[in-house]
Amino acid sequence: MQNEQPEILFTTEEVEREVARLAREISDDYRGRRPLLVGILKGSFVFLADLIRTMDIPVEVDFVILSSYGPGTESSGEVRVVHGLEQSIEGRDVIVVEDIVDSGITISHFLDDLRARDPASLKLCVLVDKTARREKEIRIDYKGVEVSDEFVVGYGIDCNEQYRYLPDIRFVKTGEE
Ligand code: IMP
Ligand code: MG
Please tell me whether the peptide bond between 42 and the residue prior to it is cis, using omega within 30 degrees of 0: yes
Residue 2 falls within a domain, yes or no?
no
Per-residue pLDDT for the chain (177 aa), expressed as one digit of tens each?
555 689 999 999 999 999 999 999 999 999 999 999 999 999 999 999 999 999 999 999 999 998 765 555 565 667 788 888 988 999 999 999 999 999 999 999 999 999 999 999 999 999 999 999 999 999 999 999 999 989 999 999 999 999 999 999 999 986 544
Residue 124 falls within a domain, yes or no?
yes
End-to-end CA distance of the chain: 8
Is the pTM higher than 0.85? yes
Catalytic, 62? Answer no
Q: Between 45-54 and 12-29, two packed helices, what is the crossing angle to 10 degrees?
A: 60
How many domains, the chain? 1
Report which protein residue has its CA nearest ligand 1's atom 17: 151
Gap from CA of 116 to ligand 2 centroid (Å): 21
The CATH number given to whatever domain includes residue 104 is: 3.40.50.2020
Residue 177 falls within a domain, yes or no?
no
The domain in which residue 76 lies consists of 7-172
